[in-house]
Amino acid sequence: MIFVFWLIFAILVGFYASSKGRSGIGFFIIAIVLSPLIGFIIALMISPVNAQMEMNAIESGEMKKCPSCAELVKVEAKLCKHCRSELA
Ligand SMILES: [Zn+2]
């Protein structure tokens, strides 16, 4: 029974890590081998990979890059929140 929780928690750690732009599979394996708690603590401590998170956001169609300042803004945005330039 505890194995089921172990597995579910390990999967959650994997999802959490991939939301930070890290390898979800890698963290899943760490959580399985060491312990889900240790995997979760490591995933908490690591800093998000911004480049990877930007890529994910653009690919999911959630965000786009402002042509003026290259910051990410929402796809629906008409005005860049970073540099106030108009977006086409
Ligand atoms: Zn901008």
Ion ligand 1 — residues with CB < 5 Å = 66, 68-69, 80, 82-83
pLDDT of residue 49: 86
Tell whether pTM > 0.75. no
In the numeric block, the tokens 């998170």 are attached to 53
Residuewise pLDDT in 10s, the chain (88 residues):
888 999 999 999 999 999 888 999 999 999 999 999 999 999 999 888 888 888 989 999 999 999 999 999 999 999 999 999 999 7
27-61 burial code (b ≥16 CB/10 A, e <16):
bbebbbeeebeebbebbeeeeeeeeebbeebeeee
pLDDT, residue 64, reads 94
73-79: list long-range contacts, CB under 8 Å, 24+ apart. Answer: none
Contacts of residue 31, Cβ cutoff 8 Å, sequence gap at least 6: 9, 10, 13, 14, 38, 39, 40
Q: What is the pLDDT of residue 52?
A: 85
What is the model's pLDDT at position 21?
86
17 alpha carbon – ligand 1 mean position (Å): 28
Q: How far is the CA of 82 from the centre of ligand 1 (A)?
A: 5
State in Å: Cα 88 to ligand 1 middle: 12
